[in-house]
Amino acid sequence: MNGLRTELAGPAPVLVWRFDEPVRAVSSGVLGGGVGLRRWITNATVGFQYDDPDPEAHAARIAVELGLDPSEGVGLLTAVDVARHTTAADDGAEVVATTGLGAVTWAAAPDGHFHEWRPGTINIVAWVPEPLADAALVNLVATVAEAKAQALAEAGVPATGTPTDAVVVCCPAGSAPDDDDHRYGGPRSRWGARIARAVHAAVLEGVEVDRARAR
């Protein structure tokens, strides 16, 4: 069974997940975003002054350097040192988060509220060990965002996230059973509840890790 077997590659820190078989994934990543079959995921550290005009191409180059086919995976970028990632699991659901608070904002801020962009992304990779319908995967993206916002609120962070947060939710490929456990991904669904609790725990810990770094 595929799972989030996390490896740390270099020279610049990169988290890498290589799957034995292609998995079904939904992602907002700069490379490989959307819904489809994916063989790998990367989450790479970039500099705080990052200004590459083509982050998709940059993520593709990182994949090539790691011996990965850029057309077969998802690439994420962050100014966070991904070696300081946090993990959480809940009854089969797994989450890995890299949490940076350098550029937090409210989602529904008025125009002009956010004046200066700074790298400070919260990237979340989540795994469900059973095949899900595409609608459930998309629903889980919303659940991840809700759980992240809950964690930030509990940690006293005056924001719902950052302008560049990214998420990947993945599960085994194949037909999903036609039942509520596999059609839905909201926070009170079977897998939505588990993913939400894991995201909440990973982001809460990530906030503390980021605060300790900033001291």
Report pLDDT digits (tens) over 122-169: 999 999 999 999 999 999 999 999 999 999 999 999 999 999 999 999
Contact 148/122 with Cβ under 8 angstroms?
Answer: yes
In the prediction, which pLDDT does 118 show? 61
d(CA 179, CA 177): 6
Mean pLDDT of the chain: 93
Question: pLDDT tens, 71-109?
Answer: 999 999 999 999 999 999 999 999 999 999 988 999 998
Task: Name residue 177's amino acid.
Answer: P
In order of start, what are the domains of the chain with their CATH numbers? 6-214 (3.60.70)
Q: Is the pLDDT of residue 213 over 50?
A: yes
Contacts of residue 104, defined as CB under 8 A and 6 or more positions apart, other chains included, come to: 120, 152, 157, 158, 159, 161, 162
Contact 170/59 with Cβ under 8 angstroms?
Answer: no
pTM: 0.94
Angstrom CA distances, 179 to 60, 83, 96, stand at: 37, 38, 27
